[in-house]
């Protein structure tokens, strides 16, 4: 069989035609023979068992019976009519019933001829009946490729309505296998097949659609899942190889005066081992001739900012400029304050550019950027405006990657000859398996250690009924000089309901914590940027003790004196959000607390989320639970990824197989980076074919 056959349009398949072809395309994305072969069942029904009519019991699930129809009659009912057949085997009698397609079925049925029927039964007044059975003449049944485990294919309502049922799809599959002589090319090398004891591609495809035994089905699934992971990893890893060899970057050979001066005089603490290791990885990347494209993962509070600054200083030492982007104005301002503070006494020009930067200041920034006078520009989306032109951007640091699109980023370095080095920082720990699939083509650094002397945030779950004792506790903490966050869910900032919750909450807090003893700040998404900044500052300067807020404060805000985080309606937050919010406290010397408030009525998932939060503060563990609860498609930043549209494998359930696939792909590329070796020829052919219509997510730069 040649590749061309697989590229044949599905409309040429027996039993398809143009109408169905359109339907298959729009509903299932199936255009060609190859697409159909690779359209896999999502479950199987055991059809190895036949049941006799006298063995039927109430509440049985789907069953299969061999028998004959002896009589057919049409029964008039309120609306239209129903068709009833008397179905018998050697042990008894039952009925088959149709409410739809009566005319057509009546004509098609053969009386007194052996049929295999399949479906669910009902029981009423001593008689079993089966509505709309799947049925097939015994003669056809015996001829067909189909066997004990009957595949059930994914479907849509529209397909069913247009009568493209599971049975029809199965029939198409059968025609296809006949058409192609059930002969499919191998796509893996003998070496890989042998090492993992895989069955051949041909046997795998045959058994995934027409499983002969449960054992063969399991082997077919294993082989096809492996293959799916393997080729994705191969693409990601090759992309990385190619990028490293082809995409030149500015080599930052010097670690110069600024870096050394800072390290000796300004660094306020000793770096953790994890910070040192990551910095080494970054220096090595930037010192080579290839462009750095690195993802820096580190839990909240792990100290990514200082790593960013040291990275920036290396760029500056090599006479390049730096950009530092943050997703919100609050964060950008905070980074700006942190960096100017850290760089005190050093001759480094740092400026802040956000939506609220005044025109006059903007002009200065634009000019200084182009002249090279400005060394570091920190800001929000404003950085990617057309007027912003760096003279020579050497490093772009992007905090919280998921909020910036790929295209947006590349605007940053439109003036460059070579792309700048890129460091994307995220505080959203990504489970390893997910990172492998999503960012397999990036380099990843992990800060897996918190700075010393950090006490774990004590976390408790309390119900609304415990509110008074919670308030009492807050008063005690405030009396000790601590500050408190109270956060309300604002899932959608425009939702009036959420807004009302926040305002009601704010009012009850002001009643419970009256002036002048207590001062309260409030920050929410509908406020003007300058009002937000003003309120944040009051809190930062300790003029207020309580900050009532929505999730605006979610990411990165650093106020070490605040030691209590109260999360209202905690059951409405996702795990990663809860984790982010909790990360706002526990940054100073004091023992910190996180109180998760909820109502009594909780969904199972919400219970798991709250329990997880109480039990652990390890961001990676929390991310694993999140992945299991929500599946990969719903996690942060994954929506845009075609990598997660897997046909058969599942990155949660098949995590181990994914690791195996990645290892095998790495080993293969290590020995044969261009897939030129004769033993890899099948892999090469399959790889090229797959790359043609690859929907893999573009890499970060």
Residues 6+ apart with CB under 8 A from 579: 300, 613, 619, 622
Stretch that binds Mg ion, among 135-143, 534-542, 551-559, 671-679 (CB under 5 A): 551-559
Q: Which stretch binds Mg ion (CB under 5 A): 339-347, 360-368, 499-507, 549-557?
A: 549-557
- Strand-strand pairing, 321-325 and 393-399: parallel
Is residue 658 within a helix (H) or strand (E), and if so which, with residue range? Answer: helix 655-671
- Least gap, CB of 305 to Mg ion (angstroms): 5
Q: How far is the CB of 331 from ligand ADP (least distance, A)?
A: 9
Q: By CB under 5 A, is residue 429 in contact with Mg ion? A: no
Report the C-alpha gap between 455 and 459 in whole angstroms.
Answer: 12
To ligand ADP, the closest distance from the beta carbon of 483 in angstroms equals: 15
Which of ligand ADP, Mg ion, none does residue 300 bind to, with CB < 5 to 8 Å depending on kind?
Answer: ligand ADP
What are the φ/ψ torsions at residue 676 (nearest 5 degrees)?
Answer: -95, -20
3-state secondary structure of 492: coil
431 binds, among Mg ion, ligand ADP, none (CB under 5 to 8 A by kind): none
Query: Could you say which of ligand ADP, Mg ion, none residue 302 binds, taking C-beta under 5 to 8 angstroms by partner kind?
Result: ligand ADP
Task: Give the nearer residue to ligand ADP in terms of CB position, either 72 or 338.
Answer: 338
CB under 8 A, 24+ apart: contacts of 610-617: 610/461, 610/570, 610/571, 611/461, 612/575, 613/459, 613/461, 613/570, 613/575, 613/578, 613/579, 613/582, 614/459, 614/460, 614/461, 617/456, 617/457, 617/459, 617/582
Of the pair 162, 283, the CB lying nearest ligand ADP is at 283
Nearer to ligand ADP, 338 or 652 (CB): 338
Taking CB within 5 to 8 Å according to partner kind, which of ligand ADP, Mg ion, none is near residue 271?
ligand ADP
DSSP string, 366-412: HHHHHHT---EEEESGGGGSTT---SSEEEEEEESGGGS-HHHHHHT
Mapped to the 3 state alphabet, what secondary structure does 250-296 carry?
Answer: CCCCCCCHHHHHHHHHHCCCCCCHHHHHHHHHHHHHHHCCECCEEEE
Q: Which does 275 bind (CB under 5 to 8 A by kind): ligand ADP, Mg ion, none?
A: ligand ADP
DSSP class of residue 200 equals P
Minimum separation from the CB atom of position 580 to ligand ADP (A): 10
Rounded Cα distance between 517 and 510, Å, is: 11
Which residue, 350 or 522, is less far from Mg ion as judged by CB? Answer: 350
Cβ nearer to ligand ADP, comparing 168 with 585: 585
Rounded to a whole number of angstroms, the minimum distance from the CB of residue 562 to ligand ADP is 12
Count of residues of this chain found to bind Mg ion when the rule CB under 5 A is applied:
1
Please report how close the Cβ of residue 535 comes to Mg ion at its closest, in angstroms. 20
Residues 553 to 572 in contact with Mg ion, rule: CB under 5 A: 556
Q: Which does 201 bind (CB under 5 to 8 A by kind): ligand ADP, Mg ion, none?
A: none
Residue 587: contacted member of ligand ADP, Mg ion, none (CB under 5 to 8 Å, by partner type) = ligand ADP
Distances in Å between the alpha carbon of 127 and those of 53, 70, 540?
Answer: 10, 16, 76
User: Which residue, 562 or 598, is less far from ligand ADP as judged by CB?
Assistant: 562
Q: Which one, of 556, 245, 285, 254, lies nearest residue 401 by Cα? A: 556
Question: Least distance to ligand ADP from the beta carbon of 555, Å?
Answer: 9
Contact residues for 502 (Cβ-Cβ < 8 A; gap 6+): 488, 490, 524, 548, 550
Q: In the bound complex, which residue of the shown chain has the CB atom lying closest to Mg ion? A: 556
Pick 329 or 501: Cβ nearer ligand ADP: 329
Binding residues for ligand ADP, per CB under 6 A? 269, 271-272, 275, 298, 300-306, 427, 451, 556, 558, 587
Nearby residues of 695 by Cβ (< 8 Å), 6 or more positions away: 642, 645
Residue placing its CB nearer to Mg ion in the complex, 420 or 556: 556
Structure tokens at 582: 């909790």
Question: Based on CB atoms, which residue is closest to Mg ion, 307 or 478?
Answer: 307
Q: In this structure, what are the phi and psi dihedrals at residue 548, rounded to the nearest 5 degrees?
A: -95, 125
CB of 517 to ligand ADP, least distance (A): 29
CB of 576 to ligand ADP, least distance (A): 14
Q: How far out from the chain centre does Cα 392 lie?
A: 35
Q: How far apart are the first and last CA of the chain?
A: 40
Which lies closer to ligand ADP via its Cβ, residue 339 or residue 686?
339
Question: At its nearest, how many Å lie between ligand ADP and the CB of residue 450?
Answer: 8
Residue 623 has phi, psi (to 5 degrees) of -65, -35
What does 285 interact with, of Mg ion, ligand ADP, none (CB < 5 to 8 A by kind)? none
| Number of other residues whose CB lies within 10 A of the CB of residue 580 | 23
At its nearest, how many Å lie between ligand ADP and the CB of residue 556? 6
Residues that bind Mg ion (CB under 5 A): 556
């Amino acid at each position: 069989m040649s590749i061309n056959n697989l590229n044949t349009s599905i409309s040429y398949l027996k039993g398809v035609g143009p109408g169905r072809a359109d339907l298959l395309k729009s509903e299932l994305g199936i255009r060609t023979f190859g697409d159909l072969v690779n359209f896999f069942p999502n479950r199987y029904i055991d059809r190895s068992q036949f049941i006799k009519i006298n063995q039927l019991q109430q509440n049985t699930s789907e069953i299969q019976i061999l028998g004959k129809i002896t009589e057919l009659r049409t029964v008039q009912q309120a609306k239209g009519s129903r068709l009833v057949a008397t179905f018998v085997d050697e042990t008894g009698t039952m009925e088959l019933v149709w409410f739809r397609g009566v005319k057509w079925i009546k004509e098609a049925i053969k009386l007194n001829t052996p049929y295999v029927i399949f479906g669910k039964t009902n029981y009423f007044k001593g008689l079993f009946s089966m509505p709309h059975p799947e049925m097939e003449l015994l003669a056809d049944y015996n001829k067909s490729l189909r066997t004990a485990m009957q595949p059930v294919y994914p479907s849509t309502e529209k397909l069913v309505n247009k009568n493209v049922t599971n049975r029809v799809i199965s029939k198409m599959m059968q025609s296809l296998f006949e058409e192609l002589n059930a002969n499919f090319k191998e796509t893996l090398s003998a070496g890989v097949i042998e090492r993992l004891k895989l069955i051949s591609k041909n046997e795998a495809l045959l058994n995934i659609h027409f499983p002969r035994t449960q054992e063969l089905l399991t082997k077919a699934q294993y082989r096809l899942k492996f293959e799916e992971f393997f080729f994705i990893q191969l693409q990601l890893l090759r992309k990385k190889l190619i990028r490293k060899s082809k995409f030149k970057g500015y080599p930052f050979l010097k670690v110069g005066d600024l870096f050394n001066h800072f390290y000796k005089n300004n660094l306020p603490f000793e770096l953790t081992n994890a910070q040192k290791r990551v910095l080494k990885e970054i220096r090595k990347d930037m010192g080579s001739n290839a462009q750095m494209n690195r993802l820096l993962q580190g839990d909240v509070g792990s100290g990514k900012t200082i790593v960013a600054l040291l990275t920036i200083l290396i760029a500056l030492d090599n006479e390049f400029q730096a950009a530092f982007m943050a997703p919100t104005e609050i964060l950008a301002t905070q980074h700006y304050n942190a960096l100017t503070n850290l760089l005190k006494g050093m001759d480094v020009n740092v400026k802040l550019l956000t939506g609220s930067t005044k025109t006059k200041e903007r002009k200065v920034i634009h000019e200084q950027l182009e002249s090279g006078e400005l060394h570091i520009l920190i800001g929000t989306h404003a950085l990617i405006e057309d007027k912003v032109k760096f003279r020579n951007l050497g490093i772009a640091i992007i905090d919280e990657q998921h909020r910036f699109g790929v295209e947006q980023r590349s605007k940053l370095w439109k003036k460059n000859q070579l792309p700048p080095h890129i460091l994307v920082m995220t505080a959203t720990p990504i489970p390893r398996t997910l990172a492998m699939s999503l960012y397999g083509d990036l380099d990843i650094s992990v800060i897996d250690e918190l700075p010393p002397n950090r006490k774990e945030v004590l976390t408790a779950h309390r119900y609304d009924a415990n509110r008074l004792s919670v308030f009492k506790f807050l008063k005690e903490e405030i009396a000790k000089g601590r500050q408190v966050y109270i956060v309300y869910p604002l899932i959608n900032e425009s939702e009036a309901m959420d807004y009302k919750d926040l305002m009601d909450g704010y009012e009850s807090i002001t009643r419970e914590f009256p002036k002048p003893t207590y001062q309260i700040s409030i920050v929410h998404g509908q406020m003007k940027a300058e009002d937000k900044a003003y309120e944040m500052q009051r809190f930062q300067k300790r003029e207020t003790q309580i900050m009532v807020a929505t999730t605006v404060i979610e990411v990165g805000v650093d106020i070490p004196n605040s030691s209590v985080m109260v999360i209202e309606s905690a059951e409405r937050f996702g795990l990663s959000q809860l984790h982010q919010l909790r990360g706002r406290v526990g940054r100073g010397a004091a023992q910190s607390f996180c109180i998760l408030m909820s109502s009594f009525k909780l969904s199972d998932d919400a219970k798991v989320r709250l329990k997880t939060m109480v039990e652990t503060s390890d961001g990676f563990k929390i991310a694993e639970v999140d992945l299991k609860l929500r599946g990969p498609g719903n996690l942060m930043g994954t929506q845009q990824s075609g990598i997660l549209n897997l046909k058969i494998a599942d990155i949660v359930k098949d995590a181990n197989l994914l690791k195996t696939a990645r290892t095998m792909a790495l080993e293969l590329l290590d020995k044969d980076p261009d897939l030129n070796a004769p033993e890899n020829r099948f892999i090469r052919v399959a790889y090229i074919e797959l790359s043609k219509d690859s929907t893999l997510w573009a890499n970060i730069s």
